[in-house]
Amino acid sequence: MTRLSVNINKVATLRNARGHNTPNLLQVAKDIERFGAQGITVHPRPDERHIRYADVRDLSPIVTTEFNVEGYPNQVFIDLVKEVNPAQVTLVPDPPGALTSNAGWDTLKNKSLLIEVIAELKNEGIRTSIFVGTELALLEGAKLVGADRVELYTQPYADLYPSNKELAIKPFTEAGVLAKQLGLGLNAGHDLSLDNLKYFAENVPALMEVSIGHALISDALYYGLENTVQMYLARLND
C-alpha cells in the first residue's frame, strides 16, 4: 500500500492572503486525516510566505497520522524539527527564496553536510528522507550519507507523461529498483496529479509514500476536499 501525505502549503498561502485564520489550517489538516490521508506534509520557508514556523509547532500535537516536515537544513530549520520531533523530516536543497523545489540533492557534492545533518536528526529519533533525482549514483550517495528514505523529484515525469508515459516512467522505475536493492525507503513527490499518479504508482516498485499538495488542493476546488482525497487514494491503491 502506498501512503498519501497531503502537503497543505497552499492552504496556508490562501489563509495568509487575507491575514486572518480562514481557512483554518489546523482544521483542514484534521479533516484531511479524517478523509483518509495517511500523512500531513508542510514545507516552511524562511520568509514564511505559506507555512509559518508557528504552524509547524501548532500542527505537531494535532496531527495523528504521519507528520512530514520538509525544508532546507539551515540552523533555524534544524532547531525547529528537533523541537517538534515529527515522524519524518525530508531534506530539500532549496536555497532561501526559492519559489518551489526544482531539483534534488547532489548527494556526492553535499556528502559532508548531509552526513552531519542526518546523524543529528537520527540521534533525535527522526526518520530522515532526502529529495533526489533519478541519477543512480546519487541514490547510492543517499545510502552512503545515512538517509532512511529518498523522495524522488517527479516533475520530469509529470512534464513528459502527456507525450510519452513509457519514456517518462523509465528512470523512476530504475531508481525504485535500485532504492529497494540499497535498502532505502522510497517516497515521491512534485507535480503528481490525478492524471499521472496511477501509472506512476503501478510502475515504481516498493513506493511507500507520495507527497502531493498543489494539484490536490487545486482539484479540491472542483471536487470538494473529501472527495478529492478519496480520488487520490483510489489512484494509488486500486
- Catalytic residue positions, numbered: 43, 70, 190
Q: How far apart, in whole angstroms, are the C-alpha atoms of residue 55 and residue 48?
A: 10
Cell numbers linked to 1: 500500500
Q: Cell 526518520 maps to which residue?
A: 127
203 contacts 172 by C-beta, under 8 angstroms: yes
Strands 185-189 and 88-91: unpaired
H or E element in which residue 54 lies: helix 53-59
Q: How far apart, in whole angstroms, are the C-alpha atoms of residue 39 and residue 184?
A: 19
Q: Cell 520557508 maps to which residue?
A: 45
The CA-atom distances, in angstroms, between 222 and each of 4, 113, 176 are 20, 43, 33
Q: How far apart, in whole angstroms, are the C-alpha atoms of residue 66 and residue 127?
A: 11
201 contacts 235 by C-beta, under 8 angstroms: yes
Query: CA angle 104-110-115, nearest 5°?
Result: 105
128 contacts 122 by C-beta, under 8 angstroms: yes
186 contacts 177 by C-beta, under 8 angstroms: no
Would you call 116 helix, strand, or coil by DSSP? helix
